[in-house]
Amino acid sequence: MDAIEATELTKDFGSTQALRGASFTVKEHEIFGLIGPNGAGKTTTLRILSTLISASSGRAQVFGYDVARQPEKVREILSYLPEDAGAYQMLTGMEFLEFMAGFYSRDRAGTRSIVEEGEKISGLGDRLNDRVNGYSKGMKRRLLIARALMMKPKLAILDEPTSGLDVIQSVHVRNMIREYADHQGVTVLLSSHNMLEVEYLCGRVALISGGVVMAEGTPDALKERYGAKNLEEVFMEVTKSE
Amino acid sequence: MNNLWAIVVKEVKELVRDPKILIGVVLMPIIIFPIMGAAIQISQESVERAIMGASFAVYTDDEGFVTDALLSYLYTNNTVVPIDAGSLEDALGAFKATDSSALIYIPHGYHTNITLGQKGVLRVYANLRSLNMAETQSTNVVTSLISVYNYYFSISKIRNLLTQTGSMGTPEAVRNPIEVHYASILKGNVLDIPPNAIFSLVMGQSIMLPIMVMMMVVFAIQMAATSIALEKEQKTLETLMTLPVSRLTILAGKLSGSIVIALAGSVSYLIGFGFYMNSAFSFVPQATTMNIDDVGVGITPLGLVLVGVVIFVTLVSALAMALSVAVFADNVRSAQSFTGALITPIMIPAVVLMFSDIEMLPQTVQWLLLIIPYTHSIIATKAAFLANYVVVIRSILFISVWTFVVLYVAAKIFSTERIITARFTFGDLGKRFRRKRPPAVNR
């Protein structure tokens, strides 16, 4: 079964068409990259798949569940990290993780186990006992990545996961994403402007521009198709033809 | 239930730990009101001390035993500054140099006029140096002294006249031929108590209760709007909305969390206001030793339960309305502006009905007020106090219908993408009038 099956998705905001028939599939356990210029429709696509907004037309399924008709089922197996997500400023990092973990476990032991996973992913140590309003941007992002992965969701949708992080923290986050995809059975759909990151992490990539998917395949296949040395050149070629 | 509890706890922690809310809503009333009360008390006590220690000056231009009798009365048990001068002008000059705030001037002819059965004239000069309360009170002390003297002097003169003419009756009856005894009929019972006394006794509670309800509603609206705006400002709303928890649970959690803080704010307000009233009016002597139970006006257990229901439905509808409106705000500041628009129609009936009943108002105003659902909250709390339960239940039904409507709207907003995409600024309003333009979206 495909983890995500998006078919001819469109989304209108008034007279603005954010998506104009985007289609792609994501296989189970893979890390799939959604790349494209600003305003291409990436965030809209991720929001539709996360059940936050509904498509104007087309269909999207997550592990066989229709996102429009069965949003509750989708939310049980999905974890979404928005690009500019924040955490509750007045809670401590630990309280934030405990609050979030509580929705994925029915008992204390289960919640504790999820939180321990979160502590490990965040790497924040004792700073988890501090309130979030004292965290740096990087610390917040690590906390949010931990929140998104700690419950080992079947599908993690990560919008710019390393946005605002320095090199060391970015590497830590990338390693965590790979670890959870390779060994914990988490399928990852991520969007990023960092082509190196996409090339390093993603097994397959979809290039979206103007609300439609222009190209889809493995990074190597895309490079070969466009005669490019790297994904950046592929990106430039695709967006130029648009 | 666990999910709901988790959201409520999170809401309370978020709101209580925010210094703006903790200080502004919970701590301020309990600190500010007692400070205000203490300030008024200190100022009142200073005035009292000033009055008690106050002296007045006396200057006489007259002679005779009637004048001597008045002087003797004034000098007994009072601190009098005698003014010795050749003319009134000099006397006033000397008076201005003293600490006294009042001068009693007995003009020439006072004795003669009174002995001839005419009015004796006195003149009181008040020296208003700084126009404070103590100065006017000093004049009042002098006025009271003269008024007491005037009363007994007139009684004495009437008694002499009655004796001389051999007429019947008492001097008091001749002076005041009519005496009025007041009584009140309350809830069908005739009570030998003046209506003013009952009103002042009942007013405290019948007015305080609606005010408390309104204060709680206002606090709750601010809390709910802040709560949803904080989610938007901190960019946590999208994450919250993708959690495996129903949107209605999120809505209920936010409503409950706001109610908890609103209750804390209201209790703090009541305690603070209680201190304020006790301190600020501690100088006012108790007008009556009546107990509220003596006059049979008190809220019954049934009335109390109904008031609880009124408060609950009022709060829920106000909160649901605040959440629905705050969804359109980008940040806490915008949300606070939006709530300003909500609070106004709530405060108008509270203020208008504080001092009058709805029936006393002109017909048009009555209808305008009755359209506002929160008018019925005030009417219900006042009616509960007077055990008019039909009115209370009618109001509860009206508010409940409104509450269901508002909750339905809030639930709709929460269960659709509007909660994520809805945006409104006052700037949009201007643009809408200028030209139609598609909304900006983050693609």
DSSP-assigned letter for residue A151: T
Distance from CA of B317 to the nearest CA of A (A): 26
Nearest residue to A36 via CA among A194, A158, A203, A207: A207
Higher pLDDT, B429 or A188: A188
Say whether both B215 and B263 belong to one domain: yes
pLDDT in the model for residue B287? 41
- The SS3 call for residue B291 is coil
Q: CB distance from A101 to chain B under 8 Å?
A: no
Say whether both B16 and B68 belong to one domain: no
Question: Residue B263: inside a domain, yes or no?
Answer: yes
- The SS3 call for residue B152 is helix
Instruction: Determine whether the interchain pair B443/A43 forms a contact, defined as Cβ–Cβ distance below 8 Å.
Output: yes
d(CA B162, CA B24): 70
Give the type of residue at B246.
S
Dig out the tokens for B175 from the structure: 């002076």
Q: CB distance from B14 to chain A under 8 Å?
A: yes
d(CA B212, CA B381): 10
Domain borders along chain A are 2-85+155-241
Give the type of residue at B186.
L
Say whether both B148 and B244 belong to one domain: no
C-alpha count within 13 angstroms, C-beta hemisphere, residue A72:
6
d(CA A185, CA B365): 67
Instruction: Determine whether the interchain pair A103/B443 forms a contact, defined as Cβ–Cβ distance below 8 Å.
Output: no
Question: Residue B187: inside a domain, yes or no?
Answer: no
| Residues of the domain holding B97 | 53-175
**Whether pLDDT at A242 is above 60:** no
The pLDDT profile of chain B, 443 residues, written as one tens digit per residue, is 588 999 999 989 988 888 877 787 777 777 877 887 788 778 777 777 766 666 789 999 999 999 999 999 998 878 888 999 999 999 999 998 888 888 999 999 999 999 998 999 999 998 887 777 667 777 888 888 899 999 999 999 899 989 999 888 899 998 888 989 888 887 677 888 888 877 766 666 666 667 777 777 887 888 888 888 888 888 899 999 999 999 889 989 988 888 888 788 777 777 777 777 666 555 544 444 555 556 666 667 888 888 888 888 888 888 888 888 888 888 888 888 888 888 887 788 888 887 777 888 889 988 988 888 888 888 888 788 778 899 999 999 999 999 999 989 988 888 888 888 877 665 655 555 555 455 555 55
Q: Find residues 371-430 of chain B whose CB sits inside 8 Å of chain A.
A: 417, 420-421
Cα B363 from chain centre: 26
Kindly report the number of other CB atoms within 10 A of residue B156's CB atom: 11
Say whether both B38 and B137 belong to one domain: no
d(CA B338, CA B326): 7
Distance from CA of B443 to the nearest CA of A (A): 4
Compute, in degrees rounded to 10, the torsion defined by CA atoms B399, B403, B405, B410: 160
Could you say which of B10, B230, B246 has the minimum Cβ distance to residue A99? B10
Say whether both B150 and B245 belong to one domain: no
Q: Average pLDDT, stretch A107-126?
A: 93
- The SS3 call for residue A230 is coil
Say whether both B201 and B156 belong to one domain: no
Q: Which CATH number fits domain A2-85+155-241: 3.40.50.300, 3.40.50.1360, 3.40.50.1100, 3.40.50.10360?
A: 3.40.50.300
Helix, strand, coil fractions of chain A, as percent rounded to 5 = 45, 25, 30
In chain B, what residues touch A91 (CB-CB under 8 Å)?
A: 10, 13-14, 17
Instruction: Determine whether the interchain pair B238/A85 forms a contact, defined as Cβ–Cβ distance below 8 Å.
Output: yes
Say whether both B82 and B207 belong to one domain: no
pLDDT in the model for residue B288? 44
- The SS3 call for residue A33 is strand
Domain count, chain B: 2
Question: Residue B363: inside a domain, yes or no?
Answer: yes
Cα B29 from chain centre: 15
B62: domain CATH number?
A: 3.40.1710.10
Instruction: Determine whether the interchain pair A80/B14 forms a contact, defined as Cβ–Cβ distance below 8 Å.
Output: no
| A57 backbone φψ class: left, alpha, beta (φ>0; ψ -120 to 50) | beta
Cα B13 from chain centre: 33
Nearest residue to B214 via CA among B332, B334, B328, B342: B342
Instruction: Determine whether the interchain pair A13/B421 forms a contact, defined as Cβ–Cβ distance below 8 Å.
Output: yes
Q: Average pLDDT, stretch A5-29?
A: 93
- The residue among B175, B209, B236 that closes a domain is B175
Q: Which residues pair with B258 in a beta bridge?
A: none
| Interface with B, mutate which of A52, A79, A114, A191 (most B CBs under 10 A) | A52
